Amino acid sequence: MQTVAERVEHQLTDKGYVPVYTTRVIEQPWDTYTATDHETWATLFKRQRELLVGRAANEFVENQERFGMSADVIPKFSDLNRVLAETTGWELIAVEGLLPELTFFEHLANRRFPVTWWIRKPEQLDYLSEPDLFHDLFGHVPLLLNPVFADYMQAYGAGGVKAAAIAPEALANLTRLYWYTVEFGLINTPEGLRIYGAGIVSSKGESIYSLEADAPNRIGFDLERVMRTRYRIDTYQKTYFVIDSYEQLIEATRPDFTPLYARLADAASHPAGNVLDSDTVYQRGTGEGWLSDGDV
């Protein structure tokens, strides 16, 4: 019998009402995956891998291979954890779904990455409103093998614990950074722009749109700019921020953010689709198809 993920409440956040699950860490109930679950994994895995060769950063696909991830079967966290233990020292833990923010930060700060154990239903292949196993495992886990990115994720967790103690506004600034890097980041490589954000690589439509559409802006990463920029949770992004390297990310975020939070508290936020004079513009989007309201 398939156990049901235990939802404890709905919490009003800057992303609207989101389900919050029990903070319990469980054993991945691998034996409860049905043939349909494995098929869903296989379908999504094949579809995305085909799209992502040449679109995602090379290390994304390479690292999936180092993990031994394949379309054949939903990976066992215990197998992936053996690879992580020998490399960057991260550990995957199975959870029911979204965690309260502070709990999530504490896990990251200790190099534990929470992965939703259940996978979406066949009718949700193209979209679901909360992270599932495919998003977390296929999207986030590969870059945990990259030593620099692995350190960035840990530093982010520690930064989250700190920001939570400062002010809700500080946390909102930090959430934008996560959104525009870990979830929706692009990276500039000798072969052109590539995807590294988990929210993009786990979406068929956005994998193409983020790189190839004329509508969105593509702008060089700037820490303060990103932390002031609102974002979309219900449509593709209006703006993608481009890093030059993971080193750039970790260097830019190394300083103490306390004075930055104080400065940003008095600064207006930028609408998701704005282009500023100070931006390094890779592409100025046409804005076609954008909804005028709904930036969070």
- Using CB under 6 A, list all residues that contact ligand PHE: 152, 155-156, 159, 162, 177, 253-257
- Partner in contact with 20, chosen from ligand PHE, Co ion, none, beta carbon below 5 to 8 Å by kind: none
Q: What does the block give as tokens for 50?
A: 């085909």
- Tell me how far the alpha carbon of residue 59 is from its chain's centroid: 16
Please state the closest distance from residue 264 (CB atom) to ligand PHE, in A.
12
In the complex, minimum distance from the CB of residue 256 to ligand PHE, in angstroms, rounded to a whole number: 4
Distance of closest approach, residue 152 Cβ to ligand PHE, in angstroms: 6
Enumerate residues 142-201 that contact Co ion by CB under 5 A: 198
Burial class (CB in 10 A: 0-12, 13-18, 19+), 180: buried
Site size for Co ion (CB under 5 A)? 1
Q: By Cβ distance, which residue is nearest to ligand PHE?
A: 159
- Give me the least distance between CB of 112 and ligand PHE, in Å please: 17
Q: Which CB sits closer to ligand PHE, 95 or 177?
A: 177
Q: Which of 152, 151, 161, 160 is nearest to 181 (CA)?
A: 152
Q: Report how far residue 193's alpha carbon sits from residue 170's, in angstroms, rounded to the nearest whole number.
A: 30
Measured from the CB atom, the residue of 162 and 225 that comes closer to ligand PHE is: 162
Nearer to Co ion, 186 or 198 (CB): 198
* 19 within 8 A of 97, measured Cβ to Cβ: yes
Q: 218-236 burial, b for 16+ CB within 10 Å, e for fewer?
A: bbebbbebbbbbbbbbeeb
